[in-house]
Amino acid sequence: MALVPRVFLPAEQIQNRVREMGRQISLDYPQGPIYLVAILKGAFMFLADLSRNITTPSRIEFMGISSYGRGKTSSGEVKVTKDLDVSIEGQHVLVVEDIVDSGVTLTYLINVLEQRKPKSLRIATLLDKPERRQRDVEVAYVGFQIPDEFVVGYGLDFDEDHRHLRDICVLVEEGLGLGTRG
The residue of the chain with the least Cβ separation from ligand PRP equals 42
The answer to whether 178 touches 7, Cβ cutoff 8 Å, is yes
Q: What is the closest distance, in whole angstroms, from the C-beta atom of residue 31 to ligand PRP in the complex?
A: 28
Q: 3-state DSSP helix/strand/coil percent for the chain, to nearest 5? A: 25, 35, 40
Q: What is the closest distance, in whole angstroms, from the C-beta atom of residue 47 to ligand PRP in the complex?
A: 11
DSSP state of 153: B
Q: What is the closest distance, in whole angstroms, from the C-beta atom of residue 58 to ligand PRP in the complex?
A: 20
**Residue 142 backbone phi and psi in degrees, to 5:** -120, 130
- 43-72 binders of ligand PRP (CB under 6 A): 65, 67
Q: How far apart are CA 43 and CA 154, in angstroms?
A: 8
Burial of 112 (0-12, 13-18, 19+ CB in 10 A): middle
Residue selected from 101, 126, 154, 171 as contacting ligand PRP according to rule CB under 6 A: 101
Q: How far apart are CA 29 and CA 59, in angstroms?
A: 13
Annotated active-site residue in 101, 128, 136, 148: 101
Size of the site for ligand PRP (CB under 6 A): 17
Does residue number 103 form part of the binding site for ligand PRP (CB under 6 A)? Answer: yes
Does residue number 104 form part of the binding site for ligand PRP (CB under 6 A)? Answer: yes
Annotated active-site residue 101? The verdict is yes
Q: Which residues are catalytic?
A: 101
Binding site residues, ligand PRP, CB under 6 A? 39-42, 65, 67, 74, 97-105, 157
